[in-house]
Amino acid sequence: MNFNKLAIAAGLAGVCVASGAHAATLDDVKARGQLRCGINTGIPGFAFTDSAGNWQGFDVALCKAVAAAIFGEPNVEYVSLTGKTRFTALASGEVDMLSRNTTWTYSRDTDLKLDFAGVNYYDGQGFIVSKELGVASASELDGATICIQTGTTTELNLADYFRANNMSYEPVPIETETEAKEKFLANACDVYTTDASGLAATRSSYPNPGDYMILPEIISKEPLGPAVRHGDSEWGDIVRWSLNALIVAEEKGITAENVKEMASAAGDDPEVNRLLGTEGEYGAMMGLDQDWAVNAIAATGNYGEIFDTFLGPDTEIGLERGLNALYTDGGILYAPPFR
Amino acid sequence: MSDTHAETVAYVAKTQYDPQPPPVASSGVLGWLTQNLFSSISNTIVTVLAIALIIYMLPGMIEWAVLHSVWNAESIRECREIITNAFGEGATGACWAVIHERFGQFMYGYYPPSLRWRPDLAAVLLIVAMVPVLFRTMRPLAVAMGVLLAAKALFAVYAELTGGNAELVGPTTIAAVIFGVLALVFGSEKTRPYWLWLTFAYPVAAYFLLWGGLGLETVESSRFGGFLLTAVIGVTGIAGSLPLGILLALGRRSNLPILKAICTIFIEFIRGVPLITLLFVASTLLNYFLPPGTNFNIVLRVLIMVTLFASAYMAEVIRGGLAALPKGQYEAADALGLDYWQSMRLIILPQALKISIPGIVNTFIGLFKDTTLVSIIALQDPLGLMKPILSNSTWNGIVWELYIFIAFMFFICCFAMSRYSMFLETRLRAADRR
């Protein structure tokens, strides 16, 4: 993180000079004919490669949706970024947007000069234990040995949680996900803690996933979302409303399959009509085509479809919607209205 | 006189004895064992421990890597299922199927499959370009091309048997045949200068083959990955760092103060900074300093940084060789009336470089392995490719198989370099004795 700050500080002068050129990201993207999208170098469910070498995943789908909103088809050049390079790559203009499980925090929004265009996944830190341990809740973890990745916010969250609940624990510091798996499976620690989506993915890779359970407690807030640079609100709007379009599409029952049909003529629901461009001139307000949302939804499906494809109960990862359900289904996904 | 003592001596040898074999304990297998493995108590203890360790570890390793291994499966779960069904509950085995499925990615990264003949052809031409530099005649080239064609034929047969299809006659095959025949016919030492022209032309040819241009479809460098990327970075770094290193070393020993200062500062700066820092500069900071909108290719940036980094180390290795030469050699060159470049080219450098060979090759090997650091700035070298592969829930859970495969591939390359260095040292030492 310090390196990021340093790099950004060192480059600020350059950015100031260059800010004129970055002002209209949409024009740059259109001229290039491709959206440069920063993604993770690999995280189960969110960004991974298939056997043909194509990027897939929950975060990747958002890149495709934004690109489809602009071009009509998902023309994306994926730039995989590590935790260390992601913010500088965005600030220096190497990528147009980040869609890389980045937690929306105060200091990132202000100090690092990012603009978060919404939240596409509400994550939080959780615990996984072996069923043999006989523990049903995190409040019973007093005195447990816990595998924890060092130097992360999860480490701090864990300390806070145990102190607040007057419990003690013995940390087993580990460096990587792989090491965590080996240690946890070898019973070197009773509990492993990281983001809940990561726990689900890790569990799916165990030889006997059924022997382990994720505890119901979530001890931190990790709202993950796409981010763009400060200083180009028009571009931020495009990313924000591409994401919102996917969420509204689920709310209104628009899917990748029926979107073309629904967009062919104006229907009964005025908001659907505005979204799909059969009523009003809503695409032009962002400098996009009238059918931008149609293309975005057709490219990836609505939010629910994306979730089910990469993270949902039918996948190996098997995550429930939980907080990420629509507000009408008991979750907190709530897109502002299209009007 | 001689008869005087005939009775006092019990036995006198009258004839030459046939040579006897040495005692059993000092020759043959037993002799080798006693001399090398059991020569002293401490040696015996070490030997026994080592053998015990091997006996303890080897069966498990062979069982895991060979006997219980699975080569064809759709996912890690299928692998585990096959192993459990065949060898019982709790058996573990290697799931090489992941290598089988992702072999193309490990070799070429995300290079478009329809264009993969281009890196292949570049690899064949690389051999053509390397042989004149590495050997005196072109015969090794003919051998290499023969081996290549044989391997290709074998692969085609294998593909035919397993139902796949491999095209037998492609650009690589044609190039291999042409250069193999050329090497056979015009492979003598005299033609070497002509072959060297091919070597000098190679970087241009490789650039157009890999990146496109001249009518070839352009390939984005973000599609480069796997061992292709390793080879591009490694070969460029190696080929660029030697001449740059020589110039830097000469500059540092030069009598021109400004030139000397520049070279010294450059070498000391680069050697004082970790490669990973330079890579970060290449990947992020450089963007700020270049005019906005410049699309300065990330692979190109990394190539420049790696070459500069290696050349600083190379300069110091060669400076060591220069310093090891007796002063008389320099004076002799001056006395012959040679100018600076003539004396360097004809007298000093041939000797200095010969002394430096182990150090040079050491730097090469180090550089080649350092290319894996680019995975930290998210280039998709073999190590960088592991993460997206393992993030696919089809293979999530596999670890060792990929590391072992990558280590094996690196070992082949580095071991080859090391053996060539030893071959070269032997050949040049023979010249010393002459």
Domain count, chain A: 2
Q: What 3 state SS string does A6-48 have?
A: HHHHHHHHHHHHHHHHHCCHHHHHHHHCCEEEEEECCECCCEE
Same domain, A118 and A54: yes
Looking at A214, A237, A261, the residue that finishes a domain is A214
Same domain, A31 and A64: yes
Q: B148 to chain A, minimum CA–CA distance in Å? A: 26
Same domain, A93 and A166: no
A88 in any annotated domain: yes
Q: Is A166 on the interface with B (CB under 8 A)?
A: no
Same domain, A50 and A116: yes
ipTM comes to 0.78
A338 in any annotated domain: no
* Residue A10 scores a pLDDT above 50: no
Residue A145: per-residue pLDDT: 92
Rg (CA), chain A: 21
Same domain, A109 and A153: no
Range of the domain at A146: 125-214
Taking contacts as CB-CB distances below 8 angstroms, the residues of chain A near B389 are 42, 48-49
A249 in any annotated domain: yes
Residue A294: per-residue pLDDT: 93
CA distance A17 to B177: 56
Same domain, A118 and A231: yes
Residue A23: per-residue pLDDT: 59
| Better-scored residue on pLDDT, B10 or B164 | B10
Q: Which residue among B378, B386, B388 places its CB closest to the CB of A81?
A: B378
Same domain, A230 and A115: yes
* Residue B5 scores a pLDDT above 70: no
Express each pLDDT in B311-358 by its tens digit.
999 999 999 999 988 889 888 988 998 888 888 888 888 888 888 888
Same domain, A196 and A235: no
CB pairs under 8 A between A and B: 122
Which residue ranges form the domains of chain B, and what is each CATH number?
22-65 (no CATH), 219-433 (1.10.3720.10)
- Whole-angstrom CA distances from B32 to B21, B25, B44 are 15, 9, 13
Residue B204: per-residue pLDDT: 87
A194 in any annotated domain: yes
Looking at A214, A243, A260, the residue that finishes a domain is A214
CA distance A142 to B353: 66
Same domain, A20 and A106: yes
Residues present in chain B in total: 434
B33 pLDDT band, cuts 50/70/90, is confident
A2 pLDDT band, cuts 50/70/90, is very low
A200 in any annotated domain: yes
Same domain, A231 and A118: yes
Looking at A163, A193, A214, the residue that finishes a domain is A214
Q: Is A3 on the interface with B (CB under 8 A)?
A: yes
Q: Give me the mean pLDDT over the B383-409 stretch.
A: 87
Q: State the best of A2, A3, A17, A41 to mutate against chain B, taking most chain B CBs within 10 Å.
A: A41
CA distance B374 to B280: 9
Q: Give me the mean pLDDT over the B115-129 stretch.
A: 85
SS3 category, A290: coil
A334 in any annotated domain: no
- Taking alpha carbons only, the member of B377, B405, B258 closest to residue B306 is B377
Taking contacts as CB-CB distances below 8 angstroms, the residues of chain A near B221 are none
Q: The domain spanning residue A203 has which CATH number?
A: 3.40.190.10
A335 in any annotated domain: no
A339 in any annotated domain: no
8 Å CB contact of A205 and B397:
yes
Same domain, A156 and A176: yes
Same domain, A233 and A191: no
* Residue A17 scores a pLDDT above 50: no
